[in-house]
Amino acid sequence: MKPSTDLNEALMERARRVIPGGVNSPVRAFKAVGGTPRFVKRAQGAYFWDANDQRYIDYIGSWGPMILGHGHPAVLEAVQKAATEGFSFGAPTEREVELAEEILSLVPSMEMVRLVSSGTEAGMTAIRLARGATGRSKIIKFEGCYHGHADALLVKAGSGLATFGNPTSAGVPPEVVQHTLVLEYNNLAQLEEAFALHGKEIAGLIIEPIAGNMNFVRATVEFTRRCRELCTEHGALLIYDEVMTGCRVALGSAQSVYAKHIPGFEPDITVMGKVIGGGMPLAAFGAKRTVMEHLAPLGSVYQAGTLSGNPVATACGLVTLREIKKPGFFEDLSLKTRSLVDGLKAAADAEGVPFSIDCEGGMFGFFLLPELPSNYTQVMKSDSARFNQLFHGLLDRGVYLAPALYEAGFVSAAHTDADISETVAAARDVFREMAPK
């Protein structure tokens, strides 16, 4: 048998000997789709090159942060300058104040913000803050929404509405998730009943406004409105997890999209990440001053982080936000994403392949289903074998989508009309192979 010349295979074999599964985040292992992960050697603009120097059009963009594309000149300049000044100080810097001010100017539901290093850390602390501010214990989350790998949030639905969730990971004791109630996304009846049963005990409701870990599923306007009303009525805090959607679906994030349909709408606590760090490890959570003042050193809710507000990461995030604020940026990005979405839909329809797709700003998601799903159960009806065929067909043609059925995709400002045309042409070829015979 002729030995493989694929350097990705050799790297994966080497990685498996020293890293569990060969990867440092599970989805990268290609376990859901099969085959060998691509080990990225370098990236520029809308592309990356793997260990074999094969070029791919990149539609994951580090799972969302690379809204400007890879290696944007202004970002590189800022990061290089910051690195020469020092990697980390463990002390305050002016730049972290500037970044906080920039974030607050874009998302006015927050009056104060705390910078951290990861979305998991931000989500975990937002839950703690909600409990500390309300003096209550119970949390509502929704099946299919992912808020990081904190123990209390690694939970699936219980056997009935009145029961609380069960751990979805080994190492999480049942008592850790006993205060987490898991409901079906977009299910108004369950939402109403949960508050009727537990309203006085609920500290907060945490939700992805557009669930990017179900690929791309929107909360309906009616459901969003009722989440807000019930939290207000029962004294619970509405927590918007905008790690993925923050400054990605709109300059003002997903909450600004919903505010167009619900006058005065805003969440109580917002969790952000990805775009605000521009690709560096940086995230944040924020709220009104009265809520944030429960945090140490002002209040009794403790949170700390040695690398929080890291000077290189804040430089990266600050320039990224200033770039996406420029006139016309989001209009152009939205048009590019819409062009991709419309092209993929037309290609699938032409070959008779069941296909539904949606987008907002620079984020999109699709399903091999005739209609867009509205909750996790419906998402699970998507044909994983056919998705794998589509994924590998596109990969073989130099187009890199998320290597999992349930992950959203991302378009950057660096994607060109030619990139989108190439992607649609590649998809048309694969859909032709998938077409009913």
What is the C-alpha separation between 363 and 337, in angstroms, rounded? 7
Q: Is the peptide bond before 20 cis (omega within 30 degrees of 0)?
A: no
Structure tokens at 44: 């520029």
What is the C-alpha separation between 11 and 396, in angstroms, rounded? 19
**Residue carrying structure tokens 């370098």:** 42
Residues 6+ apart with CB under 8 A from 100: 112, 113, 115, 284
What is the C-alpha separation between 133 and 204, in angstroms, rounded? 10
Residue type, 183: L
Structure tokens at 303: 């949170």
Q: Find the helix packing angle between 221-234 and 188-198, rounded to 10°.
A: 10
Structure tokens at 390: 């589509």
- Residues annotated as part of the active site: 146, 241, 274
Torsional class of 55: left (φ above 0), alpha (ψ -120 to 50), beta (otherwise) = beta
CA distances from 247 to 156, 324, 361, 391 (A): 29, 8, 9, 27
The residues that bridge with 410 in the sheet, in sequence order, are 363
Sign of CA dihedral 76, 57, 9, 408: positive
**Residue carrying structure tokens 């037309």:** 346
CA distances from 330 to 8, 34, 321, 345 (A): 36, 35, 12, 22
The residues that bridge with 285 in the sheet, in sequence order, are 114, 271
Contact 86, 311 (CB under 8 A): yes
b/e sequence 66-86, b meaning 16+ C-beta within 10 Å:
bbbbbebeebeebbeebeeee
Look up residue 416 and give its DSSP letter: -
